[in-house]
């Protein structure tokens, strides 16, 4: 839906002198998708701020995981490649941890860059959430454990640029992403249940058909 001032300018000959047509800059940013918990200005700030993180993805990711394992050491056991890394020094210099941290940050990067197209955003993040079903012992509440470590790592990377306003926007954004991950994780379980129920129904129907066929054969023999 176009800006009303743009329409006004067009109807007045393109805004020539003497028409007193307001500046098109007064339109402001276009409204955001109602599903996004950010205003247009907040989204702009988020994307602009994220450029600082995208230039230090691996460092920020490692910092995030070190903080995560410091607060939730039990999660180390879920990572076969670096579960023996018990100290911060070992974690900070581990190539395996750096590789995984970069992978997670790349996922977050794609999610944040996709805020302009929420249909694509939801599809992508739902798939990421669903993929965690393949991790033995993973629970949906584990997604939330990354929230504070993420915010802490972002603050360390941005430094003075991490103002109170920027902090609030990052909190809204990471909460939105985690909620979407959880939805994908839960939906995957529901889909699996539907498939299992369908398979069970098929097997039951097949068994009933086989039983009826066998019964009919026995009746013919008897007669």
Q: What is the dihedral of CA 65, 68, 69, 72, to 10 degrees?
A: -160
- The structure's pTM equals 0.73
**Is 50:109 a contact under the CB 8 Å cutoff?**
yes
pLDDT in tens, 130-139: 999 999 899 9
Q: What is the mean pLDDT of the chain?
A: 82
Spatial separation of the C-alpha atoms in residues 132 and 216, rounded to whole Å = 49
**CA 15 to CA 22: how far, in whole Å?**
8
Q: What is the pLDDT of residues 10-44, one digit of tens each?
A: 445 544 444 554 444 455 566 778 999 999 999 99
pLDDT bracket for residue 220 (50, 70, 90): low
List, for residues 124-178, the tens digit of each pLDDT value.
Answer: 999 999 999 999 899 999 999 999 999 999 999 999 999 999 999 999 999 999 9
Residue from 107, 114, 112 nearest 51 by CA: 112
Nearest Cα to Cα of residue 105 among 132, 127, 128:
128
Which fold, 45-188?
Globin-like (1.10.490)
Task: Give the residue extent of every domain in the chain.
Answer: 45-188
What is the per-residue pLDDT for 30? 67
pLDDT of residue 189: 76
Contacts of 110 (CB under 8 A, 6+ apart): 124
Each residue's pLDDT tens digit, 41-96: 999 999 999 999 999 999 999 999 999 999 999 999 888 888 889 899 999 999 99
Report the distance separating Cα 100 and Cα 74, nearest Å. Answer: 17
Residue 215 has pLDDT above 90, yes or no: no
């Amino acid at each position: 839906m176009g800006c009303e001032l743009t329409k006004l300018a067009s109807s007045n000959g393109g805004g020539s002198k003497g028409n007193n047509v307001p500046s098109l800059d007064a339109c402001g940013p276009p409204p955001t998708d109602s599903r996004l918990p950010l205003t247009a200005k907040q989204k702009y700030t988020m994307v602009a701020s994220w450029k600082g993180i995208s230039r230090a993805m691996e460092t920020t990711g490692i910092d995030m995981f070190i903080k995560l394992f410091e607060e939730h050491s039990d999660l180390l056991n879920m990572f076969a490649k670096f579960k023996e890394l018990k100290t911060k020094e070992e974690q900070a210099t581990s190539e395996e941890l750096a590789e995984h941290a970069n992978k997670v940050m790349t996922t977050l990067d794609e999610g944040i860059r996709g805020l302009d197209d929420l249909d694509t955003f939801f599809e992508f993040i739902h798939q990421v959430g669903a993929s965690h079903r393949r991790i033995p012992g993973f629970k949906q509440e584990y997604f939330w454990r990354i929230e504070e470590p993420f915010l802490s790592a972002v603050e360390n990377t941005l430094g003075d640029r991490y103002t109170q306003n920027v902090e609030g926007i990052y909190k809204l954004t990471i909460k939105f992403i985690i909620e979407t991950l959880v939805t994908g994780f839960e939906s995957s379980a529901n889909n699996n249940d539907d498939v299992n129920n369908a398979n069970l129904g098929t097997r039951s129907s097949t068994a009933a058909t086989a039983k009826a066929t066998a019964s009919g054969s026995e009746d013919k023999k008897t007669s």
